[in-house]
Amino acid sequence: MSPVDPILELSLPNEEATERLAQNLAALVLGNGDTQAKPGGRIHLSGELGTGKTTLVRALLRAAGVTGRIKSPSYTLLESYNVSSLYFYHFDFYRFSDAHEWRDAGFAELFDEHAIVLIEWPEQAGTRLPPPDLDIQLAYAGAGRSARLRAGSEKGQRWIRSLNPSPL
């Protein structure tokens, strides 16, 4: 990590803007357009109910090639998807009250470096989660939303540098 963590603040005036951000993120987690990059990455999504965490994940999974129904994991804790050799894990820890469950739930082994892990309400999982490459804070902003992206790794820093905020 360089001494300065890149932070990117975006305005997402409507749902389409959230979906465009998700599509850009999908290309980055897949490593598209970068011969050095291997697929994989970890994204944490925070923000009040209704700020668009699931909307963003759903659009990212769709852009990454997931077909069929994409359910919110708010009751199941985890929904997973497989596209060719790639594994996607979408967690929602909103209802996860006991951080000790984490140790027993057997999820830790899912965190392979080539997996794509998308976590809503990471703060509800206690301190056991490995750090994300990217942390996205969503908030209400009038009729739209705002997003604050913060890198948690060098990979996340590269993602933030290559995101082009101008079309959003």
Residues that bind ligand ADP (CB under 6 A): 12, 14-15, 17-18, 47, 49-55, 120, 144-145
100-127: burial string, b at 16+ Cβ within 10 Å, e else: eebeeeebeeeeeeebbbbbbbbebbee
What residues between 72 and 111 interact with Mg ion by CB under 5 A? none
Contact 139, 56 (CB under 8 A): no
Contact 20, 147 (CB under 8 A): no
Q: What is the distance between the alpha carbons of residues 150 and 157, in angstroms, rounded to a whole number?
A: 8
State the binding partner of 101 from ligand ADP, Mg ion, none, CB within 5 to 8 A by kind.
none
What residues between 39 and 68 interact with Mg ion by CB under 5 A? 53-54
Name the burial class of residue 49, with classes exposed (0-12), middle (13-18) and buried (19+) by CB atoms within 10 angstroms of its CB.
Answer: exposed
Query: Which residue's CB is nearer to Mg ion, number 24 or number 54?
Result: 54
State the binding partner of 51 from Mg ion, ligand ADP, none, CB within 5 to 8 A by kind.
ligand ADP
What residues between 107 and 166 interact with Mg ion by CB under 5 A? 120
Q: Minimum distance from CB of 34 to Mg ion (Å)?
A: 29
Query: Which residue's CB is nearer to ligand ADP, number 2 or number 69?
Result: 69
Q: What is the distance between the alpha carbons of residues 166 and 40, in angstroms, rounded to a whole number?
A: 25
State the binding partner of 14 from ligand ADP, Mg ion, none, CB within 5 to 8 A by kind.
ligand ADP
